[in-house]
Amino acid sequence: MSEREKAVVQKILEFYPLIPASYHRLTKKKETPETHDGQALLEEALAAQKRESKRVLEGLWTKRLRAQLSPAGFVLTLNATEAECFLQIVNEIRVGSWIKAGSPGLAPGWQPPAAADTLKYLHAMEICGTLQMQLLAALAGQGSE
């Protein structure tokens, strides 16, 4: 990727983590003391997983990408575990951006509010979608065009 592409992706990755752990519900049923305890465990586990993913991302992004500068630009080489983590992070940013933008597409005729934050999240959704497609194509051995 070029210096400009790297800067855009870096800015988008700074959104992580975007979805609060409390967004994920253990059950849709009315909360009971048992489900409250389970919900707390779920939120704690998600928070721990996000902290670990952020640690992995920082290592990948700050060390490996910088060290892999080629004449064509920056190259990020990932093993299967790192690729899975990167995909999860990008997907969280994409879904979180969709939530922050008001869940576009759920209601017929939805129009984005003209707020800068909404536009920022719509832009992040598109960039993350492109990143996901490129990474999945690379994992399938198709490379990126």
**Domain extent listing, the chain:** 3-139
pLDDT in tens, 74-126: 777 788 888 888 899 999 999 999 888 887 776 677 676 667 778 899 899 99
- Which pTM value belongs to this model? 0.77
Residue with tokens 């951006």: 97
Give the tens place of pLDDT for each residue, 4-45: 888 898 899 999 988 877 777 776 777 777 777 787 888 888
Q: Which helix (H) or strand (E) holds 43?
A: helix 33-59
